[in-house]
Structure 1
Amino acid sequence: MKKIKAKPLVVIVILGLIVLGLAIAMLSSKEKPADKQETAGPRPALTVDTVRPAHSQLPIRLAANGNIQAWQEAIIGSELNGLRLAEVLVNVGDKVKAGQVLARFAGEAVQADLAQAKASLLEAEANAAEAAANAERARKLEGTGALSAQQIAQFYAAEQTAKARVASAKAGVAAQALRIRHVQVVAPDDGIISDRKATVGAVAGVGTELFRMIRKGRLEWRAEVTSAELGRITTGTDVTVNAANGTLLKGKVRMIAPTVDPQNRVALVYVDLQNSQDKAAPAKAGMFARGEFNLGTSGALTLPQQAVVMREGFNYVFQVGPEGRVAQVKVQTGRRIADRVEILEGLTPDATVVASGAGFLNDGDLVRVANTSGSATPAPSALSVRPAALKRTGHSS
């Protein structure tokens, strides 16, 4: 009887286990499609903004090196011989005006020579007066037979000789007066004293250099330009010069050298520096300077600089495909202005590229595009920012 009663309980337990197994199987079958849906596709590597190349007007600039020199340097020397320098009135760096006294020689000897010349003139004038009187008497007696023709001729000759001696004495006085003027060494023009060799007490000879002066205080930049680039520069071209001490100077091309150095094929271009005399622009003669010639503007395709990535010495951008995958594209870059860089080769104007975060991507990565327009950001048109090196052709890579 006990065995017969236990069978319904076993059946109930077995049925419960079957129902529990079926429920578990149904639940597991519902969860598997959801997991498959979550892992069906790869996740994007990055969320990015895109941009298209913009058409911009960029400056064409030619870079060159050179030295800042004086426009003209006057050498002021002694015009007297054997005189002692009694006074030196200026020093290096002083600004002087035309005619200003720079130094004085001791003039006692010259004053004595002038007095002697004046005395010789008085003597010559007295002799001339006597000779003129004798010649006048001879003229009155001519034809009377009181004087021979030879005597009359001698009186006439003496008169002419006396006149010549008077003229010579006057010239001597003028020469000594000129020496008196040369006792004072004066500036031939406005300018700045750049060198001084004059020393009080020194006895200078004729032609001895006493001072050097930068005429008008004007400086110029002598740029070294290769013969291949020389044809791109014309007189009047605007130039920006950056001196070694950081001074920025504006200038214009004044002259282009008519010859090219046969050794290095370089010609000099002379640039007048417009604000070289400003106290706020302390450029000095002899400084090294780098400058850029402004050769106008030209159209270019540009991208933001952060869109261009440099890897292994080459420049790349990441072009976004229609399915959100990026392709690494090698490009050749050119001029740079503000945050824009010129694209010379490797990209079409309608391409869509990653605008930022490109440095974190690899070729073939999947990205999520945050902006949908992909329109180009406006490029700056103000061309006041210094570009990169121009590769001697107006472009850089």
Structure 2
Amino acid sequence: MADRVYVIGVGMTKFEKPGRREDWDYPQMAKESGTRALEDAGIPYDQVEQTYVGYVYGESTSGQRAVYELGLTGIPVVNVNNNCSTGSAALYLAAQVIRGGLADCTLALGFEKMQPGSLGATFTDREQPLMRHMGALAEISEVILPPAPWMFGAAGREHMKTYGTTAEHFAKIGQKNHRHSVNNPYSQFQDEYTLEDILGSRMIYDPLTKLQCSPTSDGSGAAILASESFVDRNNLAAQAVEIVGQAMTTDFRSTFDGTAKNIVGYDMNVQAARRVYEQSGLGPEDFQVIELHDCFSANELLLYEALGLCGEGEAGSLIDNNETTYGGRWVVNPSGGLISKGHPLGATGLAQCAELTWQLRGTADKRQVEGVTAGLQHNIGLGGAAVVTAYQRAER
């Protein structure tokens, strides 16, 4: 019988513009987030039995160097890289070990120290992982660099052509997430903008303007996971949040079916969400708060449909009716999301976990959503992997 998995401690750094904090290298980032998570859990590092550390940009065994700031205990430390879903991939592995009865307490930690500007290739002497995806998209869309805004922007254009979605719908998502970030002290940006500001900012790839695109960021996040017996032994039920469903998917044949939305992971997201709903017994209507992967506003719009918040082609109506902000059916990205909170790739999924843990505990301060009983997390990396996780308070 699979063991139950609980989040007992979370911590993160403020997400920063790359290079903004002097003498803030990845070991210092990891120490900051990891120490906060351990303090939140109320346990020392020597109770952690395995650690999974996510980062995209860095040398081999950077994960070990990072967590050595927390302690030198000889435990297994596994380095994880899954593009933009790296943090959630580390979370998935740390949970899997507990679920399988191989450990009682694990740490998932993610960090990123990034270069300013658009993402670029590090190794240019070999095929890039996204070449097949980009080649498939090039058959149905003009090729524009850098690739990320082109790929998600093309999916947005496809939705506009198919369903009549407008540039204003995408801009409203950017406006919402920037507005939410005003109340998040961990957010890279904490400025509110008008819809005109969003629409009038520099065009990156039509319909995506700069204020609808996630920035490069430095930062770290961490989560301590535990088994039910560990929670009971240490009297942690009052703060524990249970992972009641979790799934990771990678690309299907449908990824290359000739649609832009599947090239950027739509079907991966659908399948991962379905598995989580089956595992948890919960449906979209049972969640009050959602942290999802809004690397670009176009992706958030597509995710409303992929996660089942509405039917295909109905996301525009959801936005126009303010159903994804405070006062609506769901509060999506109360943290400000990737667009405003920032997107240090290895840390993103763990920051989402932290936000949902605080929401379920009722400790999210000005961002707190009323009556939270369940939270949903989505994180994706092209090339590709999608991770969806459902959470509930332990006592429920």
TM-score interval, normalised by the smaller of the two chains: under 0.3
Structure 1 length as normaliser, TM-score?
A: 0.17
From the CA coordinates, give the structure whose radius of gyration is larger. Answer: 1
More strand by share: 1
More helix by share: 2
